[in-house]
Structure 1
Amino acid sequence: MALKDEYLLDETGWSILRELQRDARLSFPEVGRRVGLSAPAVAERVRKLEDAGVITGYGARINPAKVGLPIMAFVRLTTTPMTEAGLHTFVAELPELLECHRVTGNESFLLKLVVTSISHLESVLNQLMNYGPVTTSLVLSTPRSGEPLKQEAVNREFSG
């Protein structure tokens, strides 16, 4: 592990992460009560987790449909070396974009978009086609989303 202080991701560190992922608005005294530490000890651990880049930010989760963006789509885009730099510039300013991932496989990028309507999606797709062929999947429902990272995933191995 590349952390300066190995204890940051011990059982207590993971407990702090679990509580903050459930509710980042918890006070340090409340987190401390839940994990068995004093508020100053929690504050120090959280600061070190932030400094180490484990905690990268805090924010509210917003329901896109409730703010006028009821359609979600995943777009797979295949770029060339000539178009990739332009795509980076374009997506940096694309307000409909929630996520952009460089991926392996036949496509180069996977984008997660939210839009107001199918015609709005078509307009965004037409712009993305300037950077390469696109394949689009509309999201019908989302059974799970925004799940917290779990300590068990770090050490889990699958046996065949």
Structure 2
Amino acid sequence: MPPRNGKAALDATDARLLAALDRDARLAVSELARLVGMSAPAVAERMRRLEATGVLKGFCAEIDPRALGYAISAMVRIRPLPGKLHLVEQLIDACPNIVECHKITGDDPFLARMVVRDVEEMDSVLEALADHATTSTAVIKSQAVRRRLPPLE
């Protein structure tokens, strides 16, 4: 259960452990223990505590969509037409090319990231939404900042 104030108490060892996992989530507990200067059972217990408090939510593989043939990544702002919010949310969820979507504030309630093989595939993804929403698409040229941990102090 997360702490009442919404912030988990992390010490320097927790921060080093999270940083090591962020660099390589496949590290064995014994290697993590060596990196943070603790015993493997102590590190395993810290990891269980970080999971229980909701700080550590899972371990993910980082996949490069380009290596799978998806040459284009784009951010899409999606504004459902009146009365279509829930339908558009279902369409977004059902579209495998939309690999991430956030509900946001402002005029457009959804900000999605899509991956497509080419412009024609991008058009077909957007056309599937066209009867129910307006979209604004920005092709991602490069990643200026890799996904990273927030400050842990």
Q: How does 1:79-98 map to 2 (within 5 A)?
A: 79-80=80-81, 82-98=83-99
Q: Deviation of residue 58 (structure 1)? A: 0.9
- Answer 1 or 2: which has greater helix percent: 1
Amino acid in the other structure paired with 1:122: D
| Native 8 Å contact 1:76 1:136 kept in 2 | yes
Q: Which residue of 1 aligns with 2:37?
A: 36
- Runs (4+) of structure 1 exceeding 3 A deviation are none
1:3 equivalent to 2:22? Answer no
| Native 8 Å contact 1:80 1:132 kept in 2 | yes
The CA RMSD over aligned residues, in Å, is 2.1
Aligned residues: 151
| Native 8 Å contact 1:77 1:135 kept in 2 | yes
TM-score normalised according to structure 2 size: 0.89
Gaps in structure 2 of 5+ consecutive residues: none
The C-alpha deviation readout for 1:41-80, integer Å capped at 9, x for no partner, is 1101111211222111112111111101110011001125
Other structure's SS at 1:66 match: helix
Distance across 1 between alignment mates of 2:107 and 2:34: 49
Distance across 2 between alignment mates of 1:3 and 1:14: 17
Quick one: higher RCO (CA 8 Å, sep 6+), 1 or 2? 2
Q: Which residue of 1 aligns with 2:74?
A: 73
Q: Which residue of 1 aligns with 2:122?
A: 121
| Native 8 Å contact 1:8 1:49 kept in 2 | no
Q: Deviation of residue 131 (structure 1)? A: 2.7
Q: Which residue of 1 aligns with 2:110?
A: 109
Q: Which residue of 1 aligns with 2:148?
A: 147
Distance across 2 between alignment mates of 1:57 and 1:81: 37
Amino acid in the other structure paired with 1:42: V
Amino acid in the other structure paired with 1:23: D
Gaps in structure 1 of 5+ consecutive residues: 153-160
Give the % identical residues: 36
